[in-house]
Amino acid sequence: MRALYCEEGDLSLRLDYPQPQPRPGEALLRLRMAGICGTDLALTRGYKDGVSLVLGHEYVADVISAPGHESWVGQRVVGEINTACGHCARCSRGLVTHCAERRVLGILDWDGALADTFLSPVANLYPVPANVSDEQAVFTEPLAAAYAVLRDMPSDAGERMVLFGDGRLGQLIARVLAAEGFDPLLVGRHAAKLAVAAAAGIRTQLVSSAAEIRSHAEYDVAIDATGSAQAINDILACLRPRGVLILKTTSAQTTRLDLAAVVVNELRIIGSRCGPFPQALAALAAGKVDPRPLISARYPLAQAEQAMRVAAQAESLKVLVIP
């Protein structure tokens, strides 16, 4: 079968990759549609050393087989991406997305969805409601990550929110915040991307310098979805005392941080990663969030390498891959 393989950063579409065989508790899935994410691009740039696997963790697929769980066969599904052993200390205390033994679909020790077929633990699957199209459902994973911002926000955080980063994830977070009754300001460096957000009724501002970022002051909450490790000091400067920074950027680079400012202003920095699939699916089914304006391009799996190149371009938002 075909699979987009990343071998320590080198990308190639393999045509004779072996079809995986599900073990008990696993489902064999046939891809319907996959999305390309910033993490996929980061993996090809060496975000994690020594990663060799099939990429892809945003998908909608059909269940082909599921030994011992035959009721799933034929269902159209999306799936969470972290495997959980169910018995380690972290799983026992409910931190299943942080399982000590975890593998991560298309990211860590588990072949991903950019292939004709792939595996998932059955426990990770969610049926897709009939009124949610493939082009909506394929956004479930990043939309759940966007909903994680609300889950991870302290209850006393306040309502004045500024969001940095007009890319894929920033666009979804802005829509989630708007859908849930907030009125965020989306700050970015790309006029065309900001226009996509503005068309959804989101307040936007184009900036071109760190000084312009720092001119936003006294926000209750700032959200970093820039994808850059370097913007954080400027973003922290936008917060009121006791303000909250929700950090979504994963970068291979370290950041030089002024911790005294964090202490003196009693700021809170909260790392936020994967989010709640049920909430994301419910938002799609109810039409609360429409991610489809984010689709920049569609490519067949045969052109998956080209899809990755296009996704890496600054003007791209979501690039989809369809078998």
List interacting residues with its own copies (CB under 8 A). 47, 89-90, 95, 97-98, 152, 154, 218, 229, 232, 240-242, 247-252, 254-260, 262-273
DSSP state of 18: P
Q: Least distance (Å) from its own copies to the CB of residue 100? A: 9
Instruction: Give φ, ψ of 100 to 5 degrees.
Output: -65, -25
- Closest to its own copies by CB, 68 vs 271, is 271
Using the CB atoms, write b or e for 218-240: b if 16+ within 10 Å.
ebbbbbbbbbebebbbbbbbbbb
Smallest gap, in angstroms, from Cβ of residue 177 to its own copies? 19
The H-or-E segment that residue 199 falls in is helix 191-199
Q: Which is nearer to its own copies, 190 or 242 (CB)?
A: 242
| Minimum distance, C-beta of residue 249 to its own copies, in the bound complex (Å) | 7
**33 vs 99, which CB is nearer to its own copies?**
99
Q: b or e along 95-105 (b: 16 or more beta carbons within 10 Å of the residue's beta carbon)?
A: ebbebeebbbb
Residue 25 per-residue DSSP state = T
155 Cβ contact list (under 8 Å, min separation 6)? none
Closest distance of CB 308 from its own copies, Å:
21
Minimum separation from the CB atom of position 227 to its own copies (A): 11
**Alpha helix positions (H), 24-96:** 38-44, 89-92
Minimum CB distance to its own copies, residue 74 (Å): 35
Nearer to its own copies, 265 or 306 (CB): 265
CB nearer to its own copies: pick between 32 and 102: 102
- d(Cα 193, Cα 198) in Å, to the nearest integer? 9
d(CA 299, CA 302): 8
Taking residue 165's Cβ as centre, other Cβ atoms within 10 Å add up to 27
268 vs 298, beta carbon nearer its own copies: 268
